[in-house]
Structure 1
Amino acid sequence: MEKRDIKSVIIYWMDGEISNFIKVWISVYISLSYCYFAGKIVQKGMPRFLIFLPVICLFLILPLKLHSLHLGVTTAFFIAWLSNFKLLMFIFDKGPLSDPSLSLPRFLALACLPIRIQGQKSSSQKSPKKGQKSTLNCAIKGVLLASMIKLYDYSDQIHPFIIWILYCFHIYFALEIILAIVATMARVLLGAELEPTFNEPLLSTSLQDFWGRRWNIMVTRTLRPTVYEPVHKFSVKLLGRKLAPLPAVLATFIVSALMHELIFYYMGRTRPTWRVTWFFLLHGVCLVVEVIVKKVVKDRWRLPRFLATVLVVGFVMVTGLWLFLPEMLRTKADLRGFEEYAALGAFVKDVTRALVSSPLTNVTRI
């Protein structure tokens, strides 16, 4: 890449994808501001649904304007999934957006980011140890992610199965780091404590524990009131209270599967093969069986915690390698991701060189 000054480097980087990214998010904030003010004057239910419907449709279209892996998929997850589901809750005066005391900035953050504000805390209430632990945890995972990226340079000398396992950890570490950065930015801007998006899923002792309390908690919180609870309420009338959770669980996994298929379409613009749907259906059925077994045996018999964790994490990884990861590789997400890492590295080098060779730097040296 030829040598550029600071201005030309910034223009080069802002062209294309970054420019589209900014335009998309300006559209998102304008649309959510419209929902914020409209929600105050339009009653819940069908009237609010009709005025929010154009925004919901727009949020399904906007990710198609982005083609990069990191910016495009992250944006798709934030607006096509989280924002739309939170808006659906808001339509019926439920969920975090229904709080009438929310200011516009907080409404915008809650609507489009994977966060949940717990409320203001005084300095005496804050736990520095928890914050330090969270920072250290994120730093360790950042180092591990960087090490894995470097390890890919020797992929021709590593067994493909090992590389696929590394991809599984790569996805988890990358998601947690991206969402941790978002949460940190929101914490600084909003001055509120935020709940973690992940809760150490590698320590799960059951599928119920993994999907319900540890993996992508914000998605669980959006699917529960929008899918699980309505289906559960309906199933109680048909099947009774004991069996009602079972179809509710399956319905939740089906909706999650369809949303993941949508995210994969944004990722590769390829027609779905429905393997991702089978992945979630398999886990949904297994979770239903797990719930039934727990009700039958109750507390009379339980696997040792270490063995349960190995079995659960192993099951998630094996089924992910079988059904989930191949679809990601079909979109060439791994190759595109490495290209974007390289482009970012080249951009940082260009900026650094431009700063070093700038007239201001030369004057300072003199």
Structure 2
Amino acid sequence: MRHPHDLPNHLMSGPFTVAQARSAGLSRRRTRAADLVSPCHGVRAAAKADDGLLERVRALTIATGAVVSHISAAVLWGFPLPLAVERRNAVHLTTQPGRRVVRRKDVVGHQQVLAPEDITVGRRVACTSPLRTWLDLAGILSTDELVVAGDFLVRRRNPLTTLGELDAYLDGKQGRPGYRRAMRARALVRANTDSPKETELRLLLLCHGLPEPAINVPIFDQDGRWLQDPDLSYEDEKVAIQYDGGHHATPAQRRSDIFRDENARDAGWRVVVLTQWDLTPIEPGMEPSAVVRVRAALRDRGWSPAPAGRRGRGRRVVPTM
């Protein structure tokens, strides 16, 4: 069997259009050889190439000149998305006004004005910037889901932007699709989170009338020695909240967590450890145990809800002995 001859070097690094192949001197028969695949109409790539989202959107942008946007851009940036949204197979592509909306199988085409700062040109693909992607998600996600995505933007480690930059970006976006929901979500976005579950838990506590906790604020003993950075905390009541995800189940991590929490308790803190089970009500209409347990811890430390019709952190009372 005769093997196809090697591709030119500049066509071996990734997807290329049929027009580019012909300009490089490849015959029609060569572009249909078994060592090539067609990730989308008019585009070829090496059969051994990665068939993931990045290669797929790269092929589509080469063929259309569009920019990856909305859910597809969010996945590339790593935004936490609901599984039902993340698993959608369609690729979202945006073209500027004056150009045709992309209409292909498994593609959702958009046409909207993208300013230069709205586009991030990477080594392999051009997609909407983190800020523009978050604004576009406002037309797709619920307010709470958008807050989770917003917290991801300004997370503690490797943030994609700052709250100041987010506010500056939203200035002047009045009237844009999703703007009102984006502003509602922005009021609840907080910096320095470590995981989407921290945000989910914080929103859950607020939804049930509890005061807003601090996020990853370090606590120290009376000698000034660092004890831990609880996921959420109430300094006045000295209540620390830790959300333990799946990685906390390993023996080594469990020992570390026990040591961490014992030191905090020795320093006078009440530590509430929660898991996914605590976030979901046992039965419809019941309060999640996370709310019940945190409320009990706060009340034990002298907090009580503010009178009806008043906002705030509630009032402190002297606990009965």
Q: TM-score range by the shorter chain?
A: under 0.3
Q: Which has the higher contact order (CA 8 A, sep 6+)?
A: 1
Given the two structures, how large is their TM-score scaled by the length of structure 1? 0.22
More helix by share: 1
TM-score normalized by structure 2? 0.24
